[in-house]
A = this chain, B = another copy of it.
Amino acid sequence: MTITVVGTVAFDAIQTPFGKVDRCLGGSATYFSVAASFFSRVNLVAVVGEDFTDDDASIFAGRNINLDGLQRVAGAKSFFWSGEYGFDLNVAKTLDTQLNVFAGFKPRLNDEQRRANILFLANAEPKLQMETLEQAAPKLVALDTMNLWIATAREDLTRIFRRVDLVIINDAEVRQYTNQSNVIKGARQILDLGVKTLVIKRGEYGVLMMTDERVFAAPAYPLEQVFDPTGAGDTFAGGFLGYLASRPAADDRDLRRAIIFGSTLASFTVEKFSLDRLRQITLDEVYARYREFKALTHFEDFEV
């Protein structure tokens, strides 16, 4: 089974209480593809400038990632994001965003990209997400978004919420979009738009997955050292949808397992800057941490 992801391949400058890098590999589609490719074939659709070197591209080498959709534009610079994290690491403060080559990005999906079982629309302006969605008819469409679009493109966002199967969003965004202090109540409003599955990211507290009938709660893996949270959300989405795409039934049991694989991969990402940790890990390490998640959450029926 395959996934197509449309998003950014980018450079980041990051400052955390533990260190600083002026230029490192980043971008939603980068984290997503590497994570998802542990389980499924990924068609990556993104655009980079000529500053994106073969050395940078080596992150994708030897993985199950099809790079036909990675355009390189001569004379242009790649998308650049600069951000800073404070004491609690929960919220990134954006210092600078330079769209560069992404400003003129009009994704055109080829046949293979269109035919993927899952389409993931990484965070982008909702209009761009809609233009991409209209080119494909996958079994499942999933979407990520951010506070900026809730504030500036609310109607477009609502329009695309009505068209997708699965939304990945954080709890502050649920509150912001629905104006509800209670996240569960807010989530119901989003499900009422026709979204079948809502996945709510809660940072260090884990993930809540809701459908009309069910709720599943998973904690985050307890780490004593979170080094850099950048890319955790996109890594989560990649692990989650990558595992899901590999499962023929993709039923509730698979969705729950997929949440744990997403959480597992995200827990590795935050251990180092950029993709430095994610690129090192093996599938066996992923499996081992999945089992630790089981030990972390398991309890038995009561005895009286």
Q: Which residues of A contact B (CB under 8 A)?
A: 17, 87-89, 181-185, 188, 202, 204-206, 208, 214-219, 222-226, 243, 247, 253, 256-257, 259-261, 287, 290-291, 294-303
Contact = CB atoms under 8 A, between A and B. Distances in A.
Nearest to A219: B217
A97 B12 CA distance: 50
A111 to B, nearest CB: 29
Contact of A181 (B87, B218, B300): B87
Q: This chain: how many copies in the complex? A: 2
28 contacts: A87-B181, A182-B223, A182-B225, A182-B226, A183-B204, A184-B223, A185-B224, A206-B219, A214-B295, A215-B222, A215-B296, A216-B297, A216-B299, A217-B219, A217-B222, A217-B297, A218-B297, A219-B219, A243-B302, A247-B303, A253-B299, A256-B298, A256-B300, A259-B299, A260-B299, A260-B302, A297-B297, A297-B299
Nearest to A185: B224
A88 B88 CA distance: 19
A297 B298 CA distance: 8
Contacts of A222: 184, 208, 215, 217
Contacts of A223: 182, 184
Contacts of A215: 222, 296
Contacts of A295: 214
